[in-house]
Amino acid sequence: MGATATIADHCIHLWRIPLEASESPKVGFGEWLREWLTPPEQARAARFAREEDRVRFQLGRAATRCILGRFLTLPAGQIHIEAGPHGKLQVGGVPADRAVHFNLSHSGGWILVAFARSFPLGIDVETLTAQRLSPELIEHVMCAGEREALQALPPEQRAAAFFKCWTSKEAFLKGLGAGLSVALRAIEVSIDPGEPAQLLAAPSELHPGDWQLRSLQFSSAYAATLAALCAAPQILDCTLSSWRDLQSTGIGD
C-alpha cells in the first residue's frame, strides 16, 4: 500500500488489529508508541494496572493516528485526536472538507478501528462470556421484547444473542456520540445470532431510520457490530499482522 489513501463516499475502511501485533517484534515498539502518542495519552496508559489493557489502549491510539495520517496526508505526530461533547473521539484542527470520521473499540485480543469520509459511524466489539450474563446486566441492556426473544432462544445461543444486542446498541450510540445519555433499553435491535443486525426502534430524536447496522464476521469468542449513517455502506476489511505493517506504508514519516 502507498503512503496515502482515499475513502470513497459510501465506503468504510475497517482495520482489525490483533493485540499480538505489538509483539512481533518487540524491538522498536516502545519508541513507536512514544513518538505517536501524546503526553496525556502516555500518562493515561501508565495508569492501567494490567499490561494487556495498557497495550490495547496504546496500540489502538497509535494505530488510529497512524492510519488517519495516511488518509489526511499528514505526519502521524501532527494528528490531533480530541474528545467531542459526549466523549466521542474526533480529529481536531482539520478543515471540514478534509474531515475523516472514525471510531474504535477493543476487547480481549482485538482492536477494531473504522473510518469513513462522509458520514459518522460507530463500532463495538465484546468478548463472549456467558458468565457475564447476570439478570441485572440483561435488565440494564435489553428492552422487554429483546428479553422475551432471548428466553425463546436455545440456551447455547443466548450469550451470542445478548452480545449481538449489546454491541449493536453500543455501536449505534457511539456513532451518534450520545454516550450513555440514552438508556440502552430505549433502543430495540434484532438479537438472533443467525439474522442480520437491524435497528428496530429508538427514540425519534435519534433519527434511527437513517442508521444501518452490520454484524462483523468474527471468531465464535467475539461479537462485533458496526453502525453507520449510510444507506448502503461498503466495508473494506483489513487485518493487521504487525505494527511494522503500518510503518511500511510510510504513514507518519
The C-alpha atoms of residue 248 and residue 239 are separated, in whole angstroms, by: 15
Say if residues 118 and 102 touch (Cβ distance below 8 Å): no
The C-alpha atoms of residue 220 and residue 169 are separated, in whole angstroms, by: 20
Say if residues 120 and 101 touch (Cβ distance below 8 Å): yes
Q: Give the per-residue pLDDT at 253.
A: 36
Domains and CATH numbers, the chain: 18-119+236-248 (3.90.470.20), 125-228 (3.90.470.20)
The C-alpha atoms of residue 119 and residue 2 are separated, in whole angstroms, by: 24
Q: What is the pLDDT of residues 71-126, one digit of tens each?
A: 998 888 888 898 877 778 889 888 777 889 999 999 988 999 999 999 999 999 99
Greater confidence (249 vs 53) lies with 53
CA 223, distance to chain mean position in Å, is: 12
Nearest to 14 by CA among 70, 72, 64, 74: 64
Nearest to 89 by CA among 72, 71, 64: 64
**Exposed / middle / buried, residue 90 (Cβ in 10 Å: 0-12, 13-18, 19+):** middle
Nearest to 201 by CA among 183, 185, 184, 187: 187
CA angle 163, 211, 71 (to 5 degrees): 95
CA 56, distance to chain mean position in Å, is: 13
Q: What is the pLDDT of residues 168-222, one digit of tens each?
A: 999 999 999 876 567 899 999 999 999 999 999 999 888 888 899 999 988 779 9
Q: Give the per-residue pLDDT at 28.
A: 61
Q: Tell whether the model's pLDDT for residue 51 goes beyond 90.
A: no
Q: What is the pLDDT of residues 22-42, one digit of tens each?
A: 665 455 666 666 677 888 888
Q: Please, which residues have CB within 8 angstroms of residue 76's CB and are 6 or more apart in sequence?
A: 35, 36, 62, 65, 66, 68, 69, 251, 252
The C-alpha atoms of residue 20 and residue 178 are separated, in whole angstroms, by: 32
Nine-digit cell at 76? Answer: 502521524
CA angle 38, 5, 66 (to 5 degrees): 15
